[in-house]
């Protein structure tokens, strides 16, 4: 309709293609055709199993109204009663909430006066650095804070150590339990046991929803609603993207097309790195969220038949325009091993005009006067795209008409679907993370955890040779 902005996310892959970059540098039509049968099989495998097994997250766009009502009511209670909301979680139990809150809340939200915020200050504690832990006490009055402890497995050492720290700090308040919300499995796990023991308010992470696919369940929805977001619009965006990503026609299905192109780029063309570069501060943490999704899902030792494949395209986060001044040199002239994915926002929620400069200023500075910063940021994004394309570097752009709950829901769900299809195309299990387990076991063994399951690791650590002093200088 004339005058209205289409709110659908768009994917512009022109600059991935051989038609644009030239043969040898871009994906040619023959490669897409070679991968088409595998893409069709991927679509069939994912769509025919939707909601089942580890595809439980595909049900999240259509969650029961009663659950959404419960989340919104809890969020409203937190918004009205607390000065701070503190999320305790790590990995998939933190990155989604961080990325959605950064995208949807005003910039510098915590520093705004309470009347402008309309809700509590928000802190996302996804590390256990003691300096950071201690500093939280310096800026948050724990008596006036609500803590949302999130762990799907229920036993993650980082998160549970934070819970113990908070619980201890609150111990003088006989009503401390009112200040804690537990988000965890509804079936098993230590946090579930503790929540039952203490009588904590609990939200359930559905079975079949892995950490990095959990943003659209209570893991992310509660924090989003506390931050003032319309969670129903977020889910509507995801639902609409879900419909687009279920379409059988490759060139009309953005996630399937993107997965097929990334498979060609990485498997056939050695583009083993993907740089995620939004041109909007609000989307900066979408890169971090994507990095985990892509890395943990697709970086795998073996394929589903057990053969060693060492799969995965390395994701790298960048921010436009900031990182034009740190990374772009490499991307334009370094190895041909990357795809650069930019995100473009068509309409920013705020605008700042660049004032006219005095007449006696140099011409290059006076030229900027009268433009807006959104014009400048888009011109810089265009400049990057132009330079990369001229240097025959594969690049693509995801276009968001605006940053809103609806477009963000589309964006996150799009990436989840690309990841699911990509797992099929690479023939790896996109939903496990065995490479993370080894470090968790070694951590407990190092701390001397007495359980039998750490015995082998304890012995291995005890038998390990001393570090060679020659190599420590
Ligand atoms: O994606 C994942 O599954 C992981 O990143 C987990 O979210 C992360 O390890 C934290 O696990 P948990 O939620 O069980 O504490």
* pLDDT at residue number 4: 56
Atom from ligand 1 closest to the CA of residue 213: 1
Atom from ligand 1 closest to the CA of residue 210: 3
CA distances from 218 to 76, 151, 215, 222, 238 (A): 15, 11, 7, 5, 15
pLDDT in tens, 361-389: 999 999 999 999 999 999 999 999 999 99
90 lines ligand 1 (CB under 6 A): yes
Fold: same for 10-34+234-426 and 56-229 = yes
Question: Using CA positions, which residue lies closest to atom 3 of ligand 1?
Answer: 211
Q: What is the largest CA-CA distance in the chain?
A: 78
pLDDT in tens, 292-309: 999 999 999 999 999 999
pLDDT at 2 over 80: no
Supply the mean pLDDT for the chain. 96
Joined tokens for residue 179? 């200040």
> What is the CATH code for 10-34+234-426?
3.40.50.10490
Residue range 15-27: mean pLDDT, rounded: 95
Fold for the domain defined by 56-229: Rossmann fold (3.40.50)
* pLDDT at residue number 396: 98
105 lines ligand 1 (CB under 6 A): no
pLDDT at 358 over 70: yes
**DSSP for 138-190, written as a single string:** HH--GGGEEEEEEESSS--HHHHHHHHHHHHHTTT-TTGGGGEEEEEESS--H
151 lines ligand 1 (CB under 6 A): yes
pLDDT at 5 over 60: no
pLDDT in tens, 232-272: 999 999 999 999 999 999 999 999 999 999 999 999 999 99
159 lines ligand 1 (CB under 6 A): yes
Joined tokens for residue 232? 């129903």
pLDDT at 152 over 50: yes
Pocket test for ligand 1, best of 128, 156, 219 (most atoms within 8 A of CB): 156
* pLDDT at residue number 437: 87
C-alpha span between 153 and 52 (Å, rounded) = 19
pTM of this prediction? 0.96
At residue 438 the predicted structure's pLDDT band, cuts being 50, 70 and 90, is confident
pLDDT in tens, 189-233: 999 999 999 999 999 999 999 999 999 999 999 999 999 999 999
Q: Measured in angstroms, how far is the CA atom of residue 94 from the centroid of ligand 1? A: 9
CB 63 within 8 A of CB 203: no
**Which of 25-39, 145-159, 393-407, 433-447 is predicted least confidently?**
433-447
Which residues are marked as active site?
296, 325, 440
Joined tokens for residue 412? 């996150």
Length of the chain: 473
Atom from ligand 1 closest to the CA of residue 184: 13
297 lines ligand 1 (CB under 6 A): no
278 lines ligand 1 (CB under 6 A): no
Question: Using CA positions, which residue lies closest to atom 12 of ligand 1?
Answer: 151
Q: Where are the domains of the chain?
A: 10-34+234-426, 56-229, 434-464
C-alpha span between 283 and 451 (Å, rounded) = 43
Question: Element (H or E) spanning 398, and its range?
Answer: strand 395-402
* pLDDT at residue number 6: 56
Residue range 466-472: mean pLDDT, rounded: 94
């Amino acid at each position: 309709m004339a005058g209205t902005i289409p709110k659908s996310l768009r994917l512009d892959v022109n600059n991935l293609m051989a038609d644009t970059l030239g043969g040898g540098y871009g994906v040619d039509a023959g490669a897409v055709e070679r991968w088409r049968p595998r893409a069709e099989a991927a679509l069939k495998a994912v769509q025919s199993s939707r909601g089942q097994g580890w595809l439980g997250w595909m049900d999240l766009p259509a969650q029961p109204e009663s659950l959404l009502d419960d989340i919104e009511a809890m969020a409203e209670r937190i918004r009205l009663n607390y000065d701070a909301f503190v999320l305790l979680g790590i990995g998939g139990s933190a990155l989604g909430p961080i990325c959605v809150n950064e995208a949807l809340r005003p910039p510098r939200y915590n520093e705004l006066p309470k009347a402008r915020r309309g809700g509590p200050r928000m802190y996302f504690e996804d590390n256990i650095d003691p300096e950071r832990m201690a500093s939280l006490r310096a800026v948050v009055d724990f008596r006036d804070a609500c803590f949302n402890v999130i762990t799907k497995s229920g036993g993650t050492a980082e998160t549970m150590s934070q819970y113990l720290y908070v619980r201890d700090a609150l111990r003088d308040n006989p009503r401390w339990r009112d200040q804690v919300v537990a988000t965890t499995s509804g079936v098993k796990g230590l946090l579930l046991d503790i929540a039952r023991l203490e009588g904590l308010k609990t939200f359930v992470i559905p079975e079949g929803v892995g950490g990095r696919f959990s943003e659209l369940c209570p893991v992310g929805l509660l924090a989003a609603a506390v931050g003032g977001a319309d969670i129903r619009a977020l889910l509507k965006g995801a639902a609409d993207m879900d419909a687009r990503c279920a379409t059988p026609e490759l060139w009309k299905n953005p996630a399937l097309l993107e997965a097929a192109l990334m498979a060609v780029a990485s498997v056939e063309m050695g583009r083993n790195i993907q740089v995620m570069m939004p041109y909007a501060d609000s989307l900066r943490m979408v890169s971090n969220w994507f990095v985990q999704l892509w890395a943990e899902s697709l970086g795998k030792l073996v394929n589903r038949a057990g053969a060693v494949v060492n799969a995965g395209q390395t994701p790298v986060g960048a921010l436009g325009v900031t990182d034009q001044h740190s990374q772009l040199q490499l991307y334009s002239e370094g190895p041909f091993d990357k795809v650069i994915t930019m995100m473009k926002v068509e309409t920013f929620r705020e605008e700042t005009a660049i004032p006219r400069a005095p007449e006696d200023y140099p011409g290059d500075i006076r030229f900027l006067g009268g433009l807006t910063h959104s014009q400048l940021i888009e011109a810089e994004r265009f400049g990057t795209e132009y330079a990369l394309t001229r240097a025959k570097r594969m690049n693509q752009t995801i276009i968001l008409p605006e940053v809103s709950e609806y477009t963000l829901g589309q964006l996150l769900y799009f990436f989840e679907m690309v990841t699911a299809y990509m797992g099929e195309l690479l023939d790896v299990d996109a939903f496990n993370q065995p490479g993370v387990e080894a470090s968790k076991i070694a951590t407990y063994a190092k701390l001397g955890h007495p359980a039998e399951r750490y015995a082998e690791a304890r012995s291995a650590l005890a038998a390990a040779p001393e570090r060679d002093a020659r190599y420590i200088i």
